[in-house]
Structure 1
């Protein structure tokens, strides 16, 4: 028996950091939604007690460093599964890009193995398992559009934004999320994006309202460290994107585009500055 799972990328429409917690994590408020750029996972049971991962991508680890491997190991241990699994990971989401590709792979692994082995684990419990793997994994388990609080594991589902085009551009650099959060001084942040404003815009289905309430406090760290990200934001605005923001800790920049007629111009203009440019839709 084989099972298949799709692991979509996420973007942060809003990312705010309220404070650094005593446990070393940061207290956050985020609005996250998914886009139609996805990894795909194929899982097949093995008779021997082992975990094997393969991928067409030569640049990702296939051992314990891989979050999908960690997810398989965790669910096997917690549910006392003595069988093995072969996972093939068809990688399409850029790595270290602020798009939660690894977290989404881990979430897809948890969902897929729950089905493959008939474990009957609830979605809430899968989210709790996911939280042990990373702050974005619980959201990636449930998908949709959500407000995330705590360190990202406390989720509140909300309405989907109105459909639009999303242009993603990743410069040829990798950004460490741990490094960005390590350099952030939450107590010194002077401006915070409006969660209430973003929520109201989404609930009203206001595309212009969503664009005007985009915000990510991590830009205050990443942009000075990587001028290429600021350059991409400026180019995307000049080319006509309606709303532009860095996703997560970066370096990927996304542009929200309401009119299809603009998309080709933005895509072609960005291709002159970086190779990894994607035109996708929101998953509503």
Structure 2
């Protein structure tokens, strides 16, 4: 079985407060995008995991795909598998690539072996692996809150809008990003802000990480400004960085402008 774990963007990201467990409560809109990895899972005699493409740091035994397999295999009986991940979504880029790989592993194992695991159980597995893993189980636009693992439906539809995503290959750890923010509850609910026309988002829909990371990494601010200069209706950093995205009304090829960076562009769904 071959599946294509896609990335996500954050449209708005407000850091509300620090929790007693050390995590932070946030509010954001998660929106799926087409930048994807490729994940092959096949029955095998013994379990194995390997990856190609972008180098994944750390021990393969600690990869979220491996953890997802081991977690599920303690609850259900199914054959060992070989997992082969072709990594294309940048790491530490605010796109949830690793989380998506884990969630798609859960969904693929469920389908491959006919486990008939309920949606709620799949969501529970995903939440145990990481804060934003659960989003990729249903993989549709949502308003998220608490640690980013609780969701409400949102009516936001950006179908046929064009997105340009630019990653300057900076790896910004979650710890580094959170070290520079001061939690503060927003005066206006993000869901209300997103009801406005997209061209009005620029003045209200913000990513709290930009305030501390832009001075530290000026290239991030430069990319955002260039996206606006090229006609983006809205541009922002995704997650805790370092990917910037611009949303356009029509197809806009910026591959020559950002040819020194990793990038992806295409239609939103």
Using structure 1 for the length normalisation, give the TM-score.
0.87
CA 1:245 to 1:281, structure 2 compared with 1: closer, same or farther past 3 Å?
same
The question of whether the paired residues in 1 share the 8 Å contact of 2:78 and 2:113 is answered with no
CA distance in 2, matches of 1:199, 1:230: 22
Match of 2:212 in 1: 221
CA drift at 1:212: 5.3
As a proportion of its length, which structure holds more helix? 1
**Does 2:185 correspond to 1:181?**
no
Match of 2:165 in 1: 168
CA 1:75 to 1:198, structure 2 compared with 1: closer, same or farther past 3 Å?
farther
Q: Aligned ranges for residues 1-284 of structure 1 at < 5 Å?
A: 3-48=1-46, 50=47, 52-57=48-53, 59-61=55-57, 63-77=60-74, 79-81=75-77, 83-163=79-159, 164-187=161-184, 194-201=189-196, 206-210=197-201, 213-260=204-251, 263-264=252-253, 266-271=254-259, 274-282=260-268, 284=269
Give the unaligned 5+ runs of structure 1.
Answer: none
The Cα offsets for residues 136-160 of structure 1, whole Å up to 9 and x where unpaired, read as 1001111110011110111112234
Q: What secondary structure sits across from 2:123 in the alignment?
A: helix
The Cα offsets for residues 237-267 of structure 1, whole Å up to 9 and x where unpaired, read as 222222110000001000011122xx12x33
Number of residue-to-residue matches in the alignment: 267
CA distance in 1, matches of 2:30, 2:7: 10
CA RMSD, Structure 1 to Structure 2 (Å): 2.0
CA distance in 2, matches of 1:107, 1:41: 11
The Cα offsets for residues 187-215 of structure 1, whole Å up to 9 and x where unpaired, read as 4x8x66741333424xxxx4434555431
The question of whether the paired residues in 1 share the 8 Å contact of 2:38 and 2:86 is answered with yes
Give the unaligned 5+ runs of structure 2.
Answer: none
CA distance in 1, matches of 2:38, 2:176: 28
CA distance in 1, matches of 2:53, 2:255: 24
The question of whether the paired residues in 1 share the 8 Å contact of 2:142 and 2:153 is answered with yes
CA distance in 2, matches of 1:9, 1:212: 25
CA distance in 1, matches of 2:92, 2:53: 14
CA distance in 2, matches of 1:118, 1:54: 24
The question of whether the paired residues in 2 share the 8 Å contact of 1:177 and 1:249 is answered with yes
CA distance in 2, matches of 1:22, 1:33: 28
